[in-house]
Amino acid sequence: MKGELYSLKNKLAIAEEIIRRFKHDDESEILSELKEVKNSLKITREDTKLKDKIIKEYEAELSELGDALRTYENSQEQLQHERDYWKSLANCQNFPNNEYSELREKLREIEKDRIRAQEDAEHYKLKFGSLSEEFSSLKNQLETNDNNLKCQQAALKGEFGDIEYQLLKKNEQVKSSNKRFILLQRKLETVLDEKKELEEKNKILESERKKITEKWTNLVNRTKGEEKSRVKNKELEDELSFTKIELKSTQDKLKEAFIRIEDQQQQLASEQRSAAIFKEQINRLKVQNKVLTDEREILAKMNQELSIKVNDLEIDCTKFVESQRKSIRSASELSFSIDDSIKLQKKNTELEAELKKAYNDIKRFQSIIKQKDEALLKLEIKVSDYENEKRKTERYRPSISTDSLSGLIKNLVRETDQPLISAKDSPLFSNDPLNEKYERLLDKYQRLEEQNIWLEKQLSSTQSKLKAAKNDLNEHNSHLSTLEESKDKLADENENRFRPCSEVIKKYSLKTPIFTSSPNNSNTSSPVRKINKSRSNTPEEAVTTRYSSPFSISRLSVSSNKTPWKY
């Protein structure tokens, strides 16, 4: 309670200092901002006063210049009148010569004065223009300054409003902090009241304790004559406390050992499951391997049949070519009878049918080989997965061996048996309830020993199972290696199988023979057609088809530059 009160007081003091600093900082910031605003207003007012003075001076100068211009214009008008008057007099014939010379001198002086007055007027005009420009620029500056002042005043009003809003917010925060302070004070009061109640309860408990101690002293005074029994009881209590401590330690150690054993049992069960799964998968792979070997044998037989058919086709083709060479009568034109042409057509159709069958068989074998390749790829993926799982299982090693666990449990049992046996053999071990308790403890420890022995047996059995699983994994790896070797052999056999077919088709890419009807049978409607002989003798060019079937001999012609099929 004292610690809580001290912490609450510290928190209240910290809160008061924070509120005081907050207020002081806010006041100083607001005062500094107000001072800056006032200084800026003073500076703007002084600037306006100076500019007003300058404008007044310029206005006075402008008024003086206007008066001077007016006097100049009046004097110029008077001089013009005098000039006109004297010119009129000079034009008169009756005007005397002396006066005429004087008038001329006066006219010269008047012209000089007029020139000076014009120069002064131009000077004053230029000065008036410059002053008017300055006056207009000053007016514009005044207007801009007024606008700037208005904008600054509006901005200052906005800032002042923001400052007032912040002040209101801070006052509200101060009020809320004051409310919190009041709540904390109330909590302190309640804590103090609880403290007083607890102190009163402590006093009551102390009084009760004193009464109990008095009773206990009375009982002790009554049993002063029984010192031997008290000594025995103390010794028994010490032994019991010692045995309890040892029992607790042994129980904790046994609990830890049981937890470790349970973890190992779970791990062994998981390993057994994985081993069973591995066995099932290995059996499946064996079955798949048998199926693949059977299919490989079937494919080998089919390959032999195809090779026989290809050899027959080669023989037929050679016979057909020899018959064509023998049937040639002339170098330019050949004439066959209708029966010969029909026989040749039949032979061509038979050859086309056989080649069509061979083409279909090749396609079918290609699809089968693709399926086998896919199956082999899947097997490779499975093999890699099994290898990864095998690595994971090899990484796992049990942290505690069975020998170390058994030795630890035996030591614990010995340590726990020794104090019990010593207590049983001691002369103080004479009371019946204590005998019963120690016998029960001995029975419990015997049961624990039996359980430990059973666990050791289970651990040994699991280790043997793990060894068997490892052996199965090794067999599985060897089987996988044999499967990989058989896969490579199959790929090589497939390559060697389909190379002769491609070479035969390249050799016997037949061109259609040229037939011409005999002159005797020109009117008869024979199925033989004329075919042009204007073709290139190169084997790389394509051959024109004679029949409309897609599996004709010319369609199966393969260029010599193309590579054979590979799988």
Are 293 and 351 in a shared domain? yes
DSSP states of 260-304:
HHHHHHHHHHHHHHHHHHHHHHHHHHHHHHHHHHHHHHHHHHHHH
Question: Which residue is listed with tokens 């703007």?
Answer: 44
The residue with greater pLDDT, 343 or 92, is 343
Q: How would residue 280 be classed by pLDDT, with cut points 50, 70 and 90?
A: confident
Q: Name the pLDDT band for 472 (thresholds 50, 70, 90).
A: low
| Residue indicated by tokens 């408990």 | 205
Neighbouring C-alpha atoms within 13 Å toward the C-beta of 200: 6
pLDDT digits (tens, 9 = 90+) for 526-562: 443 333 434 444 433 333 333 334 433 333 333 333 3
Q: Is position 506 within any domain? A: no
pTM to 2 decimal places: 0.23
**What does the pLDDT read at residue 467?**
67
Considering the domain architecture, whether residues 93 and 8 belong to the same structural domain is answered as: yes
Percent of the chain topping pLDDT 70: 51
Q: Residue 207: pLDDT above 80?
A: yes
Residue-wise pLDDT tens digits, 26-36: 667 777 777 77
- Among 460, 481, 502, the domain boundary falls at 481
pLDDT digits (tens, 9 = 90+) for 242-266: 877 877 777 787 778 778 777 877 8
The answer to whether residue 249 sits within a structural domain is yes
**Which residues are within 8 A (CB) of 406 and not within 5 positions of it... i.e. 6 or more apart?**
452, 456
Which structure tokens are listed for 310?
Answer: 């290809």
Whether 495 is covered by a domain: the verdict is no
pLDDT, residue 293, reads 72
Residue 402's domain comprises 235-481
Indicate whether 244 and 284 sit together in one domain. yes
Q: What is the pLDDT of residue 344?
A: 62
pLDDT digits (tens, 9 = 90+) for 129-143: 777 787 778 778 778
Residues 322 and 401 placed together within one structural domain of the fold: yes
Give the lowest-confidence range in 140-144, 152-156, 165-169, 452-456. Answer: 452-456
From 73-82, 361-370, 445-454, 506-515, the region with the lowest mean pLDDT: 506-515
Examine the pLDDT at 484 and tell me if it is beyond 70.
Answer: no
Does 20 reside within a domain?
Answer: yes
Q: Is there a single domain that holds both residue 179 and residue 248?
A: no
- Residue 390 within a domain: yes
Residue 216 and residue 243 share a domain? no
Higher pLDDT, 248 or 400: 248
Q: Is 409 exposed, middle or buried (0-12, 13-18, 19+ CB in 10 A)?
A: buried
Residue 13: give its domain's CATH number: 1.10.287
Last residue of a domain, one of 453, 481, 509: 481
Dihedral, CA of residue 400, residue 406, residue 409 and residue 413, to nearest 10 = -170
The mean-pLDDT minimum among 199-208, 373-382, 502-511 falls in: 502-511
| Together in a domain, 324 and 415 | yes
Query: 152 and 67 in one domain?
Result: yes
Nearest-angstrom CA–CA distance, 492 and 484: 12
Same domain, residue pair 162 and 285: no
- The end-to-end CA distance of the chain, in Å, is 88
Domain count, the chain: 2
| Same-domain check for residues 15 and 52 | yes
CA angle 290, 293, 294 (to 5 degrees): 85
Last residue of a domain, one of 175, 192, 220: 220
Overall average pLDDT of the 311-334 stretch:
62
pLDDT the model gives residue 480: 63
Residue 370, pLDDT above cutoff 80 = no
Eight-class DSSP state of 521:
T
pLDDT band at residue 393, thresholds of 50, 70 and 90? low
Most confident of 10-14, 249-253, 466-470: 249-253
- Do 280 and 182 share a domain, yes or no? no
- Residue 170 clears pLDDT 60, i.e. is over it: yes
> Which comes out higher in pLDDT, residue 40 or 547?
40
Question: Is residue 510 one of the residues assigned to a domain?
Answer: no
Q: Let me know if residue 164 belongs to a domain.
A: yes
pLDDT at position 528: 39
- Asked whether residue 277 falls in the same domain as residue 418, the answer is yes
Q: Is 563 contained in some domain?
A: no
Instruction: Give the span between the Cα atoms of 548 and 528, in whole angstroms.
Output: 15
The arithmetic mean of pLDDT across residues 480-508, rounded, is: 59
Rounded mean pLDDT of the chain?
Answer: 66
Please determine, for residue 515, whether its predicted confidence score (pLDDT) is greater than 60: no
